[in-house]
Amino acid sequence: MNGSSEHDEALLDSVAAYALGTLSEAEARDVAAHVATCAECTREYHDLRGAADLVGYAAETPEYAPNELQSARMKSAIMRHVRAAADVPPVTVPAPGSTPAPPPASPGAPVATLPVRSRAPWLAYLAAAACLAVAFLSTFQLSNVRAQHEQDVQQLTLLRAQVDQQEVAANEARGHLALTQSIVADLLAPGAQRFPVPRGLVARSNGRIVIALQHLPALPKGKVYQAWTLRRGAKAVAPSITFTPDTSGLLIVELPGSATDIAAVALSVEPTGGSKAPTTTPAFVRPLS
Amino acid sequence: MARVRDRDPAAFESLYDGFHRLVYGIAQRMLDDSMAAEDLTQAVFLKLWADPDAFHGGNFGAWIARVARNRALDVIRARSVRPEGEFPIDLGSDDDLDETVLAKIEGERVRAALRALPDEQRAPIELGFFGGITHEEIARRTGTPLGTVKTRIRSGLRKLREALEASAA
């Protein structure tokens, strides 16, 4: 390929055939060796090779296009592999001394492959079975969606019930707070009678008796505090309410019933549920006079 | 492609959506076997996912079209009773094409430019690209002198490039 005829038209024609890939292997080897040493043929090759590769677009037409089923099948298989391997680093196989040529068409080139499908005649039956499977799966998925919907409805009902319970509890808490505020208001009322007792006081105000204590010792399990009242003229105390202080040891309670004829108030520790008569020595007995 | 190199499946999916018809079309046209075309399409894209650095830039469509053609030639060679080596080899170490001019060319423009070629030029070009045959066989099939086939291929490719450059400008 060397000599005065290097750049004649016939040689450049061979370079074009080489760029398109229509030379035999022996001719291609000769032309490649020449192109590697000839600037003009290198330019010609580069100019025409880019155009030659684009010729492939002529096949991107409806005549040669995959149908929807094929497209979906290929994409599903490829993307399943891709997503499964997404965390695996890419495999690069640098060829020593090679330059960015498109991967050569060597039969032994390592290429990841998906399982090759059989081309047996029963493929049509397999396709039909696949369609049935798809239909079955669609029905199955629909059933799953419905079951999920029912579960969601049940869950929503349960959440609504919980919200209702919380609203009831909140209302009770608000009522208790209002009652406590009312008791405190009685304790602070200008006309209230206040009778000091250990750890607090007993007050009588607006016809009610209130016990307000602090730093009350916590009681063992099965024990409660119980109030006692002594009415005028009575020879024995009567049982009143039982209660336990909060975690801070604070206690503010109103004794039930009218306070007008109460002559004294007492407090003792009793079993849970209360007693009919004091079973322990009272913490205090306070005459209201 | 940068995102594909970063192992981004979504980017790869976009690439597949954009170019699988080109790859499949080349395979189907060359092999005339839809199942083989599917297998080839999957193999080409799986190879791209496994080794995204094989693409060095330029027109991705042109690159992957060449990859698809080469693999289809492998299949044809495996099928053929003809001796190995009858088909062309690729250029070796100096195949680093700087195709920035054609990098943005889209398929429809290429097809339009190909349609605009005279039949006598387009036919041997498409036959050579998709047929997987040598220019000698093209000459025999078309009853055209060998030298004329080469000249028409060169003239057609030159005209195709000029048309694409003009449309890209």
CB contacts of A49 in chain B (<8 Å) are 91, 95, 97
DSSP-derived secondary structure for chain A: --STTTTSHHHHHHHHHHHHT-S-HHHHHHHHHHHTT-HHHHHHHHHHHHHHHHGGGGG-SGGG---HHHHHHHHHHHHHHHHHTTTSPPP--PPTT--SPPPP--TT-----PPPPP--TTHHHHHHHHHHHHHHHHHHHHHHHHHHHHHHHHHHHHHHHHHHHHHHHHHHHHHHHHHHHHHHHHHH-TT-EEEEETTEEEEEETTEEEEEE-SPPPPPTTEEEEEEEEETT-SS-EEEEEE---TTS-EEEEESS--TTEEEEEEEEEETT--SS--S--SEEEE--
pTM of the model: 0.52
Q: Tell whether the model's pLDDT for residue A131 goes beyond 50.
A: yes
Interface of B with A in 112-131 (CB under 8 A): 114, 125-126, 128-130
Q: Tell whether the model's pLDDT for residue A4 goes beyond 80.
A: no
Which of B28, B41, B43 has its CB closest to that of A111?
B43
Report the residue of chain A nearest B138, measured CA to CA.
A22
Q: What is the pLDDT of residue A97?
A: 40
Note the pLDDT tens digit of each residue in A226-235. Answer: 999 999 888 8
Q: What is the pLDDT of residue A207?
A: 84
Note the pLDDT tens digit of each residue in B21-80. Answer: 999 999 999 999 999 999 999 999 998 998 888 888 778 888 899 999 999 988 888 876
Say if residues A252 and A184 touch (Cβ distance below 8 Å): yes
Instruction: Over range A243-248, report the average pLDDT.
Output: 82
Q: Which of A44-53, A267-276, B26-35, B160-169 has the lowest mean pLDDT?
A: B160-169
ipTM score: 0.83
Q: Does B148 touch chain A (CB under 8 A)?
A: no
Q: Which of A76-90, A186-200, B22-36 has the lowest mean pLDDT?
A: A76-90
Q: What is the pLDDT of residue A89?
A: 53
CB contacts of B73 in chain A (<8 Å) are 105
Which of A61, A75, A114 has its CB closest to that of B46?
A114
Q: Does B136 touch chain A (CB under 8 A)?
A: yes
Which of B77, B129, B134 has its CB closest to that of A52?
B129
Which of B67, B88, B97 has its CB closest to that of A22?
B88
Q: Tell whether the model's pLDDT for residue A122 goes beyond 50.
A: yes
Q: Which of A154-158, A167-171, A211-215 has the lowest mean pLDDT?
A: A154-158
Starting at the edge strand found earlier in the chain, the sheet holding A193-197 runs A193-197, A200-205, A208-213, A251-255
- With an 8 Å Cβ cutoff, are A47 and B22 in contact? no
Which residue of A11, A64, A113 to mutate against B (max B Cβ within 10 Å)?
A64
Q: What is the pLDDT of residue A130?
A: 76
Interface of B with A in 42-81 (CB under 8 A): 42-43, 45-47, 49-59, 61-63, 65-71, 73-74, 77-78
Note the pLDDT tens digit of each residue in B113-157. Answer: 999 999 999 999 999 999 888 888 999 988 999 999 999 999 999
Which of B30, B56, B161 has its CB closest to that of A50?
B161
CATH class for the region spanning A193-287: mainly beta
Instruction: Over range A260-273, report the average pLDDT.
Output: 92
Instruction: Over range B107-112, report the average pLDDT.
Output: 87
Domain residue spans in chain A? 1-116, 123-188, 193-287
All domains of chain B in start order, with CATH: 1-90 (1.10.1740.10), 99-169 (1.10.10.10)
